[in-house]
Amino acid sequence: MTDIDALLARMTWSEKLAQLQILWRPHPAEQEALAASGIGALFWPGGPERTNELQRIAMEQTRLGIPLLIGLDVVHGQFTIFPTPLAQAASFDLAVAEADARVSAAEARSCGVNWTFSPMVDVSRDPRWGRSVEGFGESPHLTSAFARAKVRAYQGRSLADPGTLAACAKHFVAAGAVEAGRDYNSTDVSRRRLREVHLPPFRAAVDAGAASVMTSLMSLNGTPMHANRWLISDILKAEYGFSGVVVSDADGTPQLVAHGTAATETDAVAASLGAGIDVVMGGPRLGRADGDALLGPGDVDPVRVDDAVRRVLRLKEALGLFDNPYTDPGAVRGPDADARTECRRAATRCVVLLRNEGALLPLAPSHRRILLTGPYAESCDHLGAWVQRFGLPAESLADALPRRFPEVEWTVLPGASFLDPSAEGIDDVRRSAPGHDLVIVAVGEPSDLSGEAASRSDLRLPGDQEALIEAVAATGVPFVVVVIAGRPLVVEDWIERAPSVLFTFHLGTEAPGALAEVIAGDAEPAGRLPMTIPRSAGQVPVYLEQENTGRPARTGGSLRGKTHDVQLEGPNNLDDDFTSKYLDLPLGPRFAFGHGSGYTSFALGEPACSAETVGIGALEAGATITVGLEVANTGARDGENVLLLYVHDPVASVAQPVRRLAGFHRVAVRSGERETVSFTLDGAALTLWDDDERAILEPGRIEVILTDGTSERSVSLELVRGAPGR
Ligand code: BGC
């Protein structure tokens, strides 16, 4: 055990500041110089031997011999690349996230990484924001559950164990609320929305023991997050009791100058440390073990600096680095067959069946000649955003499908490229399709169109891909569309002509094989949308947990018949005038959060609630309510279903969402059999935040809605003051 206080007492001011920084440098000589100068953390230099060498320098060539934190963005895999986090969320299965985090930690730690900048737990309700793909979608409840699962699985029982990584919940906070979905743009979010929507996943990560939290590059309500004392020090550290490390985002601290809230980079560093940031990523050198410091004790409170250093040293101690910071280059893990098997299974669980009107899926064994077309026919770009250059590449659908269906005669034509117009390619497909009994059109976004700094204003398939789908539809040959993307895409212009559509966010190394299994019916596409698919970019943000408005619309907009005033078309507008809707769009999104079906059919039983009335005092004291219902598989195939539990408070002191997710279960049910699914509701699930930022339980009726996206059941619960229960 290292005595942290004794070590701190021996440190000079400059040695302390040196510990409060992480830098990335490409050249080995620079990395070594940084390690020798007592820096606290470095980005992974690219191999176990190099990492060992840097640790050796830190341990042996600095006065205090403090080991290094070695950080890297291991977001959905080090070597074996799992589905992107948004794809994982579509599984509604925490085991998928756990498998990713376990394999990632084993592979990355075995080669010297000890700190991952993951999970991203930003709630995102705007698919224009490219970073939506790095998080778990639009629901605070779903995001919180995945945040907990990932943190626990990365960190294991003890960070000192091999195969663990210190997790980092990011980007604190409300990064997904950037105006207009443009990355790095300002955010302006009410305190109530922060409490109800954006903060809960961070709270969940902290409660799960997350070792670190990263602040966002955005300004929030006028204060850049890198200088936001209220959120970092008062809420995260004081209110939530977070005792880990708060790290800035890359160069986020010096960027306070560009934000216009600091005059110099030195002022910016002082403001960040003062606000509660413990480790500065990038920026000017803070301190050198045997040299000058950027700031003096008059610029930043020495007590605050000591607190930050203590947090860093405690993390190093928890990781066991003081005892042994080295790894065995002969024992590097992955990629290996076991990891790939887990990855394949995870990937099959993330696929969403958007529609299957023609019941073309799973593919009937009778197909003899199939045309595979679209840019994803032969593309191997399946890994998705935030993958390092050493991620294990994927094959293509043109490799995987013929292997799964060897008896079929396959024709493969590109048809269209991802981005460029390709009239000739589409003509080839038009000519070739009639000679086949089925066409599979594999379309989507290449990985580069999502992720950091990859916002889009147009949410349709890029390039000529929609024209390709239209051309195939016009041939009259039955066809299936497979969409592979980094965000929810607008599918409005073609979806009605495509009877069977699989939709997935990038699935990683095993994507093609997993999709082949789903297309064949070896695996069930029981994923559900973790983010709403809008009808058009103009409808964004559109999400399930919206408030009702004072004038909710009953019917949708349309431009089809004359109206008396604005000369637009649409009988619906006459029937339902002056209500909250767009004149030129049907009501609601194209596919809401939770949408998705499968290859079999289910019937839901009547829900049973353990109590019809519950005392608020009892809930506050920890009482819970159980809601259960039976799910019967009424189809001819074994299958899986996803049950979602929503709550709605119809009369509250502040407007509540029309429904709020409070539980989910993915359940496997054999054909002809039934399973009972049960949910537990606690006080937190029924709590609302009032305008004074108080979390309260209010008396009155709560509707509890259970749905699998196809049918719905509901039950009422009465919250009362005093008895019963207390
Ligand atoms: C991103 C972070 C990431 C960091 C380090 C930044 O640009 O916003 O999410 O962890 O870089 O790579």
Dump pLDDT digits (tens) for 13-68: 999 999 999 999 999 999 999 999 999 999 999 999 999 999 999 999 999 999 99
**Cα–Cα distance measured from residue 713 to residue 698, given in angstroms and rounded to the nearest whole number:** 24
**Cα–Cα distance measured from residue 198 to residue 124, given in angstroms and rounded to the nearest whole number:** 9
pLDDT at 585: 86
- Portion of the chain with pLDDT greater than 90, in percent: 92
Peptide linkage before 26 cis (omega within 30 of 0): no
> 336 CA to middle of ligand 1, Å?
28
Residue 702 has pLDDT above 90, yes or no: yes
Q: Residue for token digits 């997710």?
A: 661
> 249 CA to middle of ligand 1, Å?
6
Taking the CA atoms of residue 215, residue 218, residue 221 and residue 223 in that order, the dihedral angle to the nearest 10 degrees is 70
pLDDT at 572: 55
- Output the residue whose Cα is nearest ligand 1's atom 12: 73
Dump pLDDT digits (tens) for 393-426: 999 999 999 999 999 999 999 999 999 988 899 9
Dump pLDDT digits (tens) for 529-573: 999 999 999 999 999 999 999 998 877 766 555 444 454 555 455
pLDDT at 564: 47
> 248 CA to middle of ligand 1, Å?
9
pLDDT at 639: 97
Q: Provide the pLDDT confidence category of residue 726 given band limits of 50, 70 and 90.
A: very low
**Cα–Cα distance measured from residue 581 to residue 557, given in angstroms and rounded to the nearest whole number:** 7
Question: Residue 241 CB: number of other CB atoms within 10 A?
Answer: 9
Q: Which atom of ligand 1 is nearest to the CA of 120?
A: 9
- Output the residue whose Cα is nearest ligand 1's atom 4: 250
- Portion of the chain with pLDDT greater than 70, in percent: 97
Dump pLDDT digits (tens) for 646-695: 999 999 999 999 999 999 999 999 999 999 999 999 999 999 999 889 99
**Cα–Cα distance measured from residue 263 to residue 204, given in angstroms and rounded to the nearest whole number:** 36
**Cα–Cα distance measured from residue 466 to residue 462, given in angstroms and rounded to the nearest whole number:** 8
pLDDT at 723: 59
Mean pLDDT over 333-347 rounds to: 96
> 451 CA to middle of ligand 1, Å?
11
pLDDT at 44: 98
Mean pLDDT over 325-344 rounds to: 96
pLDDT at 575: 67
* Beta-carbon contacts of residue 327 (< 8 Å; ≥ 6 apart): 48, 51, 52, 109, 110, 111, 112
pLDDT at 724: 54
**Cα–Cα distance measured from residue 199 to residue 201, given in angstroms and rounded to the nearest whole number:** 6
Q: How many CA atoms lie within 13 A of 69 on its CB side?
A: 36
Q: Which atom of ligand 1 is nearest to the CA of 118?
A: 10
pLDDT at 559: 56
Query: What are the C-alpha distances in Å from 233 to residues 221, 229, 249, 439, 631?
Result: 17, 5, 17, 57, 46
Q: Which residues pair with 370 in a beta bridge?
A: 410, 438
Mean pLDDT over 243-258 rounds to: 98
Catalytically active residues, by annotation: 249
Q: How many CA atoms lie within 13 A of 219 on its CB side?
A: 13
Dump pLDDT digits (tens) for 224-241: 999 999 999 999 999 999
Gap between the terminal Cα atoms of the chain: 47
Average pLDDT, the chain: 95
User: Which of 44, 214, 218, 388 to mutate for ligand 1's pocket (most ligand atoms within 8 Å of CB)?
Assistant: 214
Mean pLDDT over 260-274 rounds to: 98
Residue 7's SS3 state is helix
Dump pLDDT digits (tens) for 306-322: 999 999 999 999 999 99
User: Which of 249, 255, 281, 386 to mutate for ligand 1's pocket (most ligand atoms within 8 Å of CB)?
Assistant: 249
Q: Provide the pLDDT confidence category of residue 165 given band limits of 50, 70 and 90.
A: very high
Ligand 1: lining residues by beta carbon, under 6 Å: 73, 117, 170, 249-250, 452
**Burial class of residue 380 (count of CB atoms within 10 Å of its CB; 0-12, 13-18, 19+):** middle
> 278 CA to middle of ligand 1, Å?
16
**Burial class of residue 347 (count of CB atoms within 10 Å of its CB; 0-12, 13-18, 19+):** buried
- Output the residue whose Cα is nearest ligand 1's atom 11: 250
CA-based Rg of the chain, rounded to a whole angstrom? 27
Pull the structure tokens for residue 180.
Answer: 């207009």
pLDDT at 560: 53
Q: Positive or negative, the Cα torsion across 606, 609, 613, 619?
A: negative
Give the strand pairing for 712-720 and 613-615: parallel
Residue 368 has pLDDT above 80, yes or no: yes
Pull the structure tokens for residue 342.
Answer: 């887990």
Q: Provide the pLDDT confidence category of residue 583 given band limits of 50, 70 and 90.
A: confident
pLDDT at 390: 94
> 250 CA to middle of ligand 1, Å?
6
CB-CB contact of 475 with 430 (8 Å) = yes
- Output the residue whose Cα is nearest ligand 1's atom 8: 249
Q: What does the DSSP 8-state code read for residue 74?
A: -
> 148 CA to middle of ligand 1, Å?
21
> 242 CA to middle of ligand 1, Å?
21
Residue 32's SS3 state is helix
- Output the residue whose Cα is nearest ligand 1's atom 7: 250
* Beta-carbon contacts of residue 392 (< 8 Å; ≥ 6 apart): 77, 79, 80, 81, 335, 509
* Beta-carbon contacts of residue 548 (< 8 Å; ≥ 6 apart): 655, 658
Q: Which has more confidence, 391 or 334? A: 391
Mean pLDDT over 581-603 rounds to: 93
Residue 175 has pLDDT above 50, yes or no: yes
Q: Positive or negative, the Cα torsion across 64, 278, 112, 38?
A: negative
> 170 CA to middle of ligand 1, Å?
9
- Output the residue whose Cα is nearest ligand 1's atom 2: 249
Q: Which atom of ligand 1 is nearest to the CA of 72?
A: 12
pLDDT at 558: 62
Dump pLDDT digits (tens) for 63-113: 999 999 999 999 999 999 999 999 999 999 999 999 999 999 999 999 999
**Cα–Cα distance measured from residue 651 to residue 469, given in angstroms and rounded to the nearest whole number:** 46
Q: Which of 525, 725, 688, 529 is nearest to 613 (CA)?
A: 725
Q: Which has more confidence, 556 or 603? A: 603
